[in-house]
Amino acid sequence: MTLRALVYTDEDVTEYDDLAAAKLANGTTWVRADDPDEATLETLHEVFDIHPLAVEDVGNDVRPKVEEFPAHLFVLAKAARLRHGDTTFEKEIDDRPVGLFIGTDWLVTLTFHSLDVLDAVQESVLREDPRVLGRGPDFTAYRVLDRIVDNYFQQLDQIEDRLEYVEEEVLETPEREILEEINDARRELLAMRKLLWPTRDSISTLARGDSPQIQESTEKYYRDVYDHLVQQVDLVETYRELAIGARDIYMNSLSMSTNEVMKRLTIVATIVLPLTLIVGVFGMNFETMPELTWPTAYPAALLGMAGISGVLVYYFRKVGWL
Amino acid sequence: MTLRALVYTDEDVTEYDDLAAAKLANGTTWVRADDPDEATLETLHEVFDIHPLAVEDVGNDVRPKVEEFPAHLFVLAKAARLRHGDTTFEKEIDDRPVGLFIGTDWLVTLTFHSLDVLDAVQESVLREDPRVLGRGPDFTAYRVLDRIVDNYFQQLDQIEDRLEYVEEEVLETPEREILEEINDARRELLAMRKLLWPTRDSISTLARGDSPQIQESTEKYYRDVYDHLVQQVDLVETYRELAIGARDIYMNSLSMSTNEVMKRLTIVATIVLPLTLIVGVFGMNFETMPELTWPTAYPAALLGMAGISGVLVYYFRKVGWL
Amino acid sequence: MTLRALVYTDEDVTEYDDLAAAKLANGTTWVRADDPDEATLETLHEVFDIHPLAVEDVGNDVRPKVEEFPAHLFVLAKAARLRHGDTTFEKEIDDRPVGLFIGTDWLVTLTFHSLDVLDAVQESVLREDPRVLGRGPDFTAYRVLDRIVDNYFQQLDQIEDRLEYVEEEVLETPEREILEEINDARRELLAMRKLLWPTRDSISTLARGDSPQIQESTEKYYRDVYDHLVQQVDLVETYRELAIGARDIYMNSLSMSTNEVMKRLTIVATIVLPLTLIVGVFGMNFETMPELTWPTAYPAALLGMAGISGVLVYYFRKVGWL
Amino acid sequence: MTLRALVYTDEDVTEYDDLAAAKLANGTTWVRADDPDEATLETLHEVFDIHPLAVEDVGNDVRPKVEEFPAHLFVLAKAARLRHGDTTFEKEIDDRPVGLFIGTDWLVTLTFHSLDVLDAVQESVLREDPRVLGRGPDFTAYRVLDRIVDNYFQQLDQIEDRLEYVEEEVLETPEREILEEINDARRELLAMRKLLWPTRDSISTLARGDSPQIQESTEKYYRDVYDHLVQQVDLVETYRELAIGARDIYMNSLSMSTNEVMKRLTIVATIVLPLTLIVGVFGMNFETMPELTWPTAYPAALLGMAGISGVLVYYFRKVGWL
Amino acid sequence: MTLRALVYTDEDVTEYDDLAAAKLANGTTWVRADDPDEATLETLHEVFDIHPLAVEDVGNDVRPKVEEFPAHLFVLAKAARLRHGDTTFEKEIDDRPVGLFIGTDWLVTLTFHSLDVLDAVQESVLREDPRVLGRGPDFTAYRVLDRIVDNYFQQLDQIEDRLEYVEEEVLETPEREILEEINDARRELLAMRKLLWPTRDSISTLARGDSPQIQESTEKYYRDVYDHLVQQVDLVETYRELAIGARDIYMNSLSMSTNEVMKRLTIVATIVLPLTLIVGVFGMNFETMPELTWPTAYPAALLGMAGISGVLVYYFRKVGWL
């Protein structure tokens, strides 16, 4: 459990122990609650009026969303990492929800997981640029959301790599494993889409400027995050079409292979069976088969058979089977 | 038939026999009518102005919905259980409609089936927490709806189990039975979707706070139920895609199997037929076949044939058919 | 041609000959015009201001719809019966349009076909319950529409029966006839959908209560018809998915059958061809083949061949081909 | 190039040479400009304020649309004829755009093709019923549009004929030519849809009565055209489904044919190969084969082989392969 | 890096070095910034209040869009060229974003690529028709956008050529390469759609006339560009359907080829195997085979075999296999 309350006053950031005092302090307050215990949640409820149902939403597997509460805006986002599980029902994505509660001059971030993006933003606030916090809780929330959304690109890159591998392999060897790779990619894209769509809709709400908690000057930044999400949704759709295209090629490779196998069988049978018939004829036991006594009949028969083979091979070459 | 009228006054729950008295009594009234007879329905109509068409809706197979009546809100929900019927037209889902009539300070629940969820909520009102009823008829209705919707997760879990089984089996043995399993899952998902979509839309209406019968403080709870339904609709869509993916793998397994069968046939034919031709040659009855008299010709011929077989086997191994 | 004008006054129904007088008479008037001639249409135009374009719509194959005219509401509905025509372009559905013109205190029904539902409603008005007419022209129109929509369920039942038959047969015998049955069902569903969608939209307009001709107390009844239509649209969608599922199973049965055929061929060839090779070897005419003179060679050869067959049969059993 | 200006005054139609005079004349003016030269276009621009961009739209391949200009309404419609081109990129449809500019008391029709429908309407105005023009420019425009839309039915009939032919043939002979017919039909439907959708939307705008140039009494007529277009869009969708159904049957016929071919091969091989093995056995050269000396062995062997054939034929009949 | 500031005053165009002066100068100003350095961007920010986020959008791969800024309108468009890359992830389209910032009497175009269309428009402003600039910044922006959109037609033409090639080839030779061509076309169409849809939506915003920066007289021109984009989107959809149709024919060609191969095999086997059986019979070593001693038996047997072959060939011709 970590609980830190940072307050930006007069160009500097101070850390408070008491949440109520932090809230009252002049300037923007950021309370970061990672994996808080029951008592802390109780305090958050008392001081910031954070509703137990919202806390539950952060704890469970609920879709990203934005909700208006009387005194603050509740944004639920999810950091995501692909998991490449072996079976379908190990989830394809390891998603870690984080709740952002944006008040007039305070921001509470709440999560039950460990989240790199929060560390990164805190770092930049404490060391590099305390003015981030000074630009308001909505701007600090933007920083967190921006990093979360940027990370989605990495997950999409992994899916792209997988599809690239599939596209190369599928033309060489139509193995079943390729079909499984394709299905994995489709499932991951399904999971990404499930994540991206509601996030895009939420951020769109924030970018439209209906919420009093979002300053007009910050809207532009949310619009930027929104543009990234639109682009990611586009990528997901494109990858889905690519996956379907790859599956088509795979299925076709299989049909093509069966076709090839059949051709070989037909070539062998068409060349060998008639020759077998001929040798069968000369193996018959009729008493009166004058050709059997001719001295040159045997080599002639062999030559004839070679000739027939040659003609057939030539024919198969001409129609492109050999 | 069961008919109970519970009234919450001054921190306690009293049971009334007379419906009209129960309605007039101070505090929230909950009338639970399970499988009522005609006379009871008549009384409900007189006391609570419950419209015969609404009663018919509860009795028949109508989609879940919310309807505004002059003096109350009519919510039609359906408890559901998967039935795994053998044929399609035994319905996949055993759904049990329940009508919730939410007035200003009274709630009537009406059903023609036996419903565990009503027993459970009544239990909690009578024994554990009478204040549930004290929070208003809309909150009590939320409790019923919440349990109904929570149960849907169990049905979805069963479908997930079925798909998990299918995904494991389909790679081993492409039997027709697997295809039937997949089709069963698709039908069940169809049935679940038919149930979930209108329920989601109904609850969304309640969560939006347009109805005077829903208090502002209760809306959050309906929003919670709504979130569950959205998640369930998501699950259904994901499972549908998984079912389609499994069907693709199945269909492909079959093509693959045909391909394998053809390869074996081709291998056998390609190895055996030329050898048969050779032995046929030496079985011909030409008088002048000098090799027939050579003492080492027979073992040489056998060795040659073994050599040809070996070359062909080596070739088939190289191209990966053996 | 039939033309009847019924007027409900003081608890009883009187029949009028003169349309104008019928319209002016106190109480609700219902004019029923079945297959009217030009003169009657002219009179209807003069007395009730029924527009020639609306009459044309009733006569032609136009989609069901609702249209507002200055003095009345025009509802176009269609009674339907499946036709099971042999070819596609004999239409799948025999639909009989009926126009309902709803004025303030009069209703004109106009059709160019014979329609059981009109007879049935007239019967109930004349004999059983004249008050039906007393409740207003909108209520009488509801009665007609309700019966038309109820009849759709019978058509859907027929399609269900057909699909049930298909589902049973498709697992037994993948004959082409099954595919044609499936395609017939799909076409019928297409036709039903084309009928149901616009009807649903029309009735929805009436149920919403925007039309001054529909009394508030009647809206509930239209909402009931609307619910039936929604349910029918749902059924059509479900049946479509079932039909697609059945087609998948059918297509798969065919692939499966090809697979089986190939397996048999492979089994026969794999067992018989090597044996033929062996007997061919012992049929060669080399002079020096010592085994030919051994007395036990022949039975030994036969035994060996039986052994090889046995091993192959055992192998095919083990891999599940036999 | 044709340019005619018809003015309807006092129950009769006069022809004017001067466009400006025609516009100013009392009564409704119809200017018909077929394939006009630059000078005429310039005059049209000056007198009727027809925008060069609108003229360009009429000249190019732009989607049907309605546009409001300050002094008139611009309706772009397209007469269409199927072309049955041999390759895809000869366009499937020969569409001839016509621009209708509807002013307060004037109508300009502009086209760069020869259009039968304009001749037909002009004929009816000049000879049969000059009052058509008297009912206003919007009514005259309706007459033109009505004929254009009516002609679409003929094109759809041709597509229906093609599909009817396909449905009959596909069951007889699954030739590739059928697949090309189906693809042609699909492309034509695609082209028709591209034409019908925007036309429907345009006419819907006119029928809704938002445009001041459309009189209230004319709206009904536009609604009639709209209904036809809705019906045509429905037909296109139905035909598309039929085309897909036909393609399914075709693809299936092919699989069925392969299946049949395989069955025949398997029958031949299963009957002949074992018999060949038997005769091979009796063709072996072992010295001790007592049965060879039995006098009845030969006919017995032949009988036995016939018996085996009989049993196999009986078996193949029983499983339905013969 | 290029930076030019053109100002149109009194029928002529002057070039300014100082951006601030150019902005203040009487008349319309066009600042063209190609691949500007940081300092220039800073100046643009100061003088024209161009937001860094907008500059970033021009630099990155963001979807085309329109955004309102306090003092100007920001239009992001993309010039595009097909790239025909070998692998999927070399992007199919080389798109070059250009930002157009439209103020009250100034236009800034910003790009980080070299763009022919900007050169072309500048040429026409400087040499042919300075009044283009005189008609306002929105008209000049229209000129740029119009050329960009017109170029899309060239890209679509290339895709059409590719599909035309595919349609011709697919009937001749169902090679895998054709399937890859089809997939390439589908990917390019995907990329074009991704470009066209948002551009269409942006231009639609401009054509609707909500932006104060777009004069009413210019709207018509934007509507023209919009019509082109609608047509291009239509083309993309049509090409997609054609690509799918071609793929169907391809897949079918493959099945057809397998079918043909199987038929040949069956023909060979059906003709040769029975004859082999016959010669095998006469090769048996039974002592009592009277026909062996008949002098005409041998030619009779050969004739009989020829007869059987003839009958079978005739039969195969009749069923259309030969």
Q: C151 burial class (0-12, 13-18, 19+ CB within 10 angstroms)?
A: middle
Structure tokens at A83: 């998991």
What is the band of C34 on the pLDDT scale with cuts at 50, 70, 90?
Answer: very high
Identity of the residue numbered C106: W
Please name the member of B224, B263, B283 whose beta carbon is closest to the beta carbon of A283: B283
Residue E59's alpha-carbon distances to A211, A219, A246, D98, E39, in angstroms, are 30, 20, 32, 44, 16
**Which residues of chain D are within 8 Å of residue E286 when distances are taken between CB atoms?**
282, 292, 297-298, 301
Nearest chain A CA: its distance from E68 CA (Å): 10
Under an 8 A CB cutoff, do D242 and C187 touch? yes
Residue D137's alpha-carbon distances to D28, D229, E125, in angstroms, are 6, 22, 43
Q: Using the CB atoms, write b or e for E48-81: b if 16+ within 10 Å.
A: bebbeebbebbeeebbbbbbebeebbbbbbbbbe
> Taking a C-beta distance cutoff of 8 angstroms, is the pair A100, A121 a contact?
no
Name, in order, each residue with C-beta under 8 angstroms of A105's C-beta and a sequence gap of 6 or more: A27, A28, A29, A136, A137
**CA nearest D252 in C: which residue?**
C251
Largest CA distance in chain C: 123
DSSP character for C63? P
Under an 8 A CB cutoff, do A262 and E261 touch? yes
Q: Is the pLDDT of residue E91 over 80?
A: no
Under an 8 A CB cutoff, do D297 and E286 touch? yes
Q: What is the pLDDT of residues A45-57, one digit of tens each?
A: 999 999 988 999 9
Structure tokens at C100: 């309902």
**CA nearest C261 in D: which residue?**
D263
Under an 8 A CB cutoff, do E301 and A284 touch? yes
Structure tokens at A35: 């994996």
Under an 8 A CB cutoff, do C194 and D242 touch? no
How much is the mean pLDDT over chain A? 88
Distance from first CA to last CA of chain E, Å, rounded? 71
**Which residues of chain E are within 8 Å of residue D179 when distances are taken between CB atoms?**
248-249, 252
Q: Is the pLDDT of residue D310 over 90?
A: yes
- For testing contact with chain D, the best of C58, C271, C272, C284 (most D CBs within 10 A): C272
Q: C9 burial class (0-12, 13-18, 19+ CB within 10 angstroms)?
A: middle
**Which residues of chain E are within 8 Å of residue A268 when distances are taken between CB atoms?**
none
**Which residues of chain A are within 8 Å of residue B280 when distances are taken between CB atoms?**
275-276, 279-280, 283
To the nearest 10 degrees (0 to 180), the angle between helices C216-281 and B52-59 is 10
Element (H, E) at E29: strand E28-34
B240/E114 Cα distance (integer angstroms): 48
Total Cβ atoms within 10 A of residue D37: 10
Under an 8 A CB cutoff, do B176 and C252 touch? yes
Q: Which one is the CATH code of C2-254: 3.30.460.20, 3.40.47.10, 3.30.70.120, 3.40.30.10?
A: 3.30.460.20
Alpha carbon D103 to its chain centroid, in Å, reads: 34
Identity of the residue numbered B124: S
Residue C93's alpha-carbon distances to A190, C85, C230, D153, D227, in angstroms, are 40, 9, 20, 20, 20
C22/C24 Cα distance (integer angstroms): 5
| Entry field: residues in chain E | 322
Low pLDDT (below 50) residues in chain A: none
Q: What is the pLDDT of residues B241-292, one digit of tens each?
A: 888 888 888 888 888 888 889 999 999 999 999 999 999 999 999 988 888 9
Query: For the residues E43-49, what does the mean pLDDT come to?
Result: 92
Please name the member of E247, E258, E265 whose beta carbon is closest to the beta carbon of A269: E265
What is the band of C234 on the pLDDT scale with cuts at 50, 70, 90?
Answer: confident
Q: What percent of chain A has pLDDT over 70?
A: 96
pLDDT at D86: 56
Rounded to the nearest 5 degrees, what angle is found at the Cα of B186, between the Cα atoms of B180 and B187? Answer: 90
Under an 8 A CB cutoff, do A194 and B238 touch? yes
> Taking a C-beta distance cutoff of 8 angstroms, is the pair E108, E213 a contact?
no
Under an 8 A CB cutoff, do E262 and D265 touch? yes
Q: Is the pLDDT of residue E77 over 70?
A: yes
How much is the mean pLDDT over chain D? 88
Query: For the residues B224-244, what does the mean pLDDT come to?
Result: 89
Alpha carbon E70 to its chain centroid, in Å, reads: 36
DSSP character for D64? P
Identity of the residue numbered C44: L
Closest CA to B228 of B77, B66, B59: B77
The residue that leads in pLDDT, B197 or D251, is B197
**Which residues of chain E are within 8 Å of residue A266 when distances are taken between CB atoms?**
261-262, 264-265, 268
Provide the strand spans (E) within chain B.
2-9, 12-16, 28-34, 65-68, 73-82, 93-102, 106-111
pLDDT at A91: 65
Name, in order, each residue with C-beta under 8 angstroms of B217's C-beta and a sequence gap of 6 or more: none
Nearest chain D CA: its distance from C122 CA (Å): 31
Element (H, E) at C30: strand C28-34
Structure tokens at B139: 């909150």
> Taking a C-beta distance cutoff of 8 angstroms, is the pair E100, E227 a contact?
no
Please name the member of D160, D241, D274 whose beta carbon is closest to the beta carbon of C89: D160
CATH class of B261-318: mainly alpha
pLDDT at A109: 95
Sign of the four-CA dihedral C47, C50, C51, C57: negative
Nearest chain C CA: its distance from B151 CA (Å): 23
Identity of the residue numbered C301: A
B253/B243 Cα distance (integer angstroms): 15
Query: For the residues B92-113, what does the mean pLDDT come to?
Result: 91
Q: What is the pLDDT of residues E267-308, one digit of tens each?
A: 999 999 999 999 999 999 998 888 899 989 999 999 999 999
DSSP string, A42-89: HHHHHHH---HHHHHHHHTTPPPEEEE-SS-EEEEEEEEEE---SSTT
Q: Is the pLDDT of residue D111 over 90?
A: yes
Under an 8 A CB cutoff, do C230 and B63 touch? yes
Please name the member of D63, D268, D284 whose beta carbon is closest to the beta carbon of E230: D63
pLDDT at C256: 83
Under an 8 A CB cutoff, do A255 and B252 touch? no
Under an 8 A CB cutoff, do B285 and A289 touch? yes
C87/C180 Cα distance (integer angstroms): 11
What is the band of E258 on the pLDDT scale with cuts at 50, 70, 90?
Answer: confident
Element (H, E) at D28: strand D28-34
Nearest chain A CA: its distance from E129 CA (Å): 38
Under an 8 A CB cutoff, do D254 and E249 touch? no
The residues with which D232 forms a beta bridge, in sequence order, are none
Structure tokens at C84: 């099971």
**CA nearest D266 in E: which residue?**
E266
How much is the mean pLDDT over chain B? 88
> Taking a C-beta distance cutoff of 8 angstroms, is the pair A87, A226 a contact?
no
pLDDT at D48: 93
DSSP string, B84-152: --SSTTS-SEEEEEEEEEE-SSEEEEEESS--HHHHHHHHIIIII-THHHHT-HHHHHHHHHHHHHHHH
Identity of the residue numbered C261: V
**Which residues of chain D are within 8 Å of residue C264 when distances are taken between CB atoms?**
266, 270
**CA nearest D226 in C: which residue?**
C62
Provide φ and ψ at E103, rounded to 5°: -100, -165
Total Cβ atoms within 10 A of residue C299: 12
Between C35-49, C76-90, C287-301, the lowest mean confidence (pLDDT) is in C76-90
Q: Is the pLDDT of residue D61 over 80?
A: no
Q: What is the pLDDT of residues A187-246, one digit of tens each?
A: 889 889 889 999 998 999 898 877 888 998 898 899 989 999 998 998 898 888 888 888
Nearest chain D CA: its distance from C268 CA (Å): 6
Q: Per CB distance under 8 Å, which residues of E are interface residues toward D?
A: 160, 163-164, 167-168, 171, 220-221, 223-224, 227, 230-231, 234, 238, 241-242, 245, 248-249, 252-253, 255-256, 258-259, 262-263, 265-266, 269-270, 273-274, 276-277, 280-281, 283-289
How much is the mean pLDDT over chain E? 88
Identity of the residue numbered A315: Y
**Which residues of chain A are within 8 Å of residue B174 when distances are taken between CB atoms?**
none
**Which residues of chain B are within 8 Å of residue A247 when distances are taken between CB atoms?**
248
With tokens 């005092």, the residue in question is A21
What is the band of B87 on the pLDDT scale with cuts at 50, 70, 90?
Answer: low
pLDDT at A88: 55
The residue that leads in pLDDT, B32 or E251, is B32
Alpha carbon C153 to its chain centroid, in Å, reads: 9
Please name the member of D227, D269, D285 whose beta carbon is closest to the beta carbon of C282: D285
Chains with 3+ CB–CB pairs under 8 A to C are B, D
Residue A303's alpha-carbon distances to B275, B293, C138, in angstroms, are 18, 21, 97
Query: For the residues E16-27, what does the mean pLDDT come to?
Result: 89
With tokens 């439907």, the residue in question is D189
Name, in order, each residue with C-beta under 8 angstroms of D212's C-beta and a sequence gap of 6 or more: none
Please name the member of D171, D231, D281 whose beta carbon is closest to the beta carbon of C62: D231
Domain ranges (residues) in chain A: 2-254, 259-318
Nearest chain E CA: its distance from D70 CA (Å): 11
The domain E258-318 having CATH identifier 3.40.190.10: the answer here is: no
Please name the member of C61, C194, C269 whose beta carbon is closest to the beta carbon of D269: C269
Q: DSSP 3-state assignment of D297?
A: helix
Q: Is the pLDDT of residue E114 over 90?
A: no
pLDDT at B134: 85
Q: DSSP 3-state assignment of D29?
A: strand
Structure tokens at D180: 């090309």
Structure tokens at B18: 């007379």
Q: Is the pLDDT of residue E149 over 90?
A: yes
Q: What percent of chain B has pLDDT over 90?
A: 43
Give the count of Cβ contacts less than 8 A between chain D and E.
124
Q: Is the pLDDT of residue E170 over 70?
A: yes
**Which residues of chain D are within 8 Å of residue C196 when distances are taken between CB atoms?**
none
**Which residues of chain D are within 8 Å of residue C279 when distances are taken between CB atoms?**
277, 280-281, 283-284
What is the band of D243 on the pLDDT scale with cuts at 50, 70, 90?
Answer: confident
Structure tokens at E280: 């095998």
Q: Is the pLDDT of residue C308 over 90?
A: yes
Under an 8 A CB cutoff, do B231 and A61 touch? yes
How much is the mean pLDDT over chain C? 88
Fold of A259-318: Methane Monooxygenase Hydroxylase; Chain G, domain 1 (1.20.58)
**CA nearest C319 in B: which residue?**
B173
E95/E81 Cα distance (integer angstroms): 6
**Which residues of chain A are within 8 Å of residue E254 when distances are taken between CB atoms?**
252, 255-256, 259
Closest CA to B166 of B182, B154, B183, B155: B182
Total Cβ atoms within 10 A of residue C200: 20
Query: For the residues D161-174, what does the mean pLDDT come to?
Result: 80
Radius of gyration over every alpha carbon of chain D, rounded to an integer in angstroms: 35
B321/C264 Cα distance (integer angstroms): 20
Nearest chain E CA: its distance from A164 CA (Å): 7
pLDDT at D79: 92
With tokens 């192998």, the residue in question is C315
pLDDT at D127: 80
Superfamily of domain C260-318: Magnesium transport protein CorA, transmembrane region (1.20.58.340)
Q: Is the pLDDT of residue D174 over 70?
A: no
Chains with 3+ CB–CB pairs under 8 A to E are A, D
Q: Is the pLDDT of residue B86 over 60?
A: no
Query: For the residues B34-56, what does the mean pLDDT come to?
Result: 91
Q: DSSP 3-state assignment of B34?
A: strand
DSSP string, C171-230: HH---HHHHHHHHHHHHHHHHHHHHHHHHHHHHHHHHHT--TTS-HHHHHHHHHHHHHHH
Under an 8 A CB cutoff, do B67 and C223 touch? yes
DSSP character for C283? T
